Amino acid sequence: MSNTDLYIEALIFSSEQSLRVEEIAYCLQAALEQDISIEQINKSIDSIKEKYQDENLAIELIKVNNGYQFLTKKNFHQVISLLQSQRSKKKLSQAALETLAVIAYRQPTTKTDIEQIRGVNCDYSIQKLLEKELIAIVGKSEAVGKPILYGTSSLFMDYFGINSMKDLPHIKELITDESSIGEATE
């Protein structure tokens, strides 16, 4: 493999989307300060493709959307989809975490109660938490309009590695001198 091949391989590998030959040419010409022909880039791409046809490698170079991208080989797709599915269930935004904390400590609770504590609309966070099955609808309140009550699910306990709601940290344990505002008075 030539140095040009290595630069092209690095460019394609580091790109989140498919990389067109023209983009590769622009980057190489700007970085290496020399003219590199489209024909030379295509030869390098063919060389890289050949390198990744090895059965002992899990990725291959594929032409996608008029550009090139490294993708996992098809026989690994089932394993990769499981990982992606698992990771998508684990990622929570700060807003979702805050909403989940309110529900966990105040359950069963209504959307209005959560919004009063957080000070913002919680529709999206509640929807995402329901989709991820970390919370569940546990009934309806007797308050005016009979609003929906939310509580945590059994998946919530798996996600956070706890056996019961008693395992949640007590509020007093979470408050430290560093998290308090102002001076303490006796």
Per the document, the length of the chain is: 186
Q: How many angstroms separate the CA atoms of 59 and 7, rounded?
A: 18
Q: How confident is the model at residue 84 (pLDDT cuts 50, 70, 90)?
A: confident
- Report how far apart the first and last C-alpha atoms of the chain are (Å, whole number): 74
Report pTM.
0.49
Residue 86: count of CB within 10 angstroms of its CB: 9
Q: How many angstroms separate the CA atoms of 181 and 90, rounded?
A: 32
Q: For the domain made up of 3-77, give the CATH fold.
A: Arc Repressor Mutant, subunit A (1.10.10)
pLDDT tens, position by position, 94-146: 999 999 999 999 999 999 999 999 999 999 999 999 988 899 999 999 999 99
Q: Where are the alpha helices (DSSP H) in 63-161?
A: 77-90, 94-106, 111-118, 123-131, 154-160
**Two domains, one topology: 3-77 and 92-178:** yes
Q: Is the pLDDT of residue 47 over 70?
A: yes
The pLDDT of residue 91 is 74
Q: How confident is the model at residue 173 (pLDDT cuts 50, 70, 90)?
A: low
Phi then psi for residue 71, to 5 deg, are -135, 155
Cα angle for residues 124, 130, 132 (degrees, 5° grid)? 105
* SS3 assignment, position 161: coil
So where are the chain's domains? 3-77, 92-178
CATH code given to domain 92-178 = 1.10.10.10
For residue 76, give Cα distances in angstroms to 60, 65, 68, 83, 85.
11, 22, 19, 11, 14
Phi then psi for residue 57, to 5 deg, are -110, 145
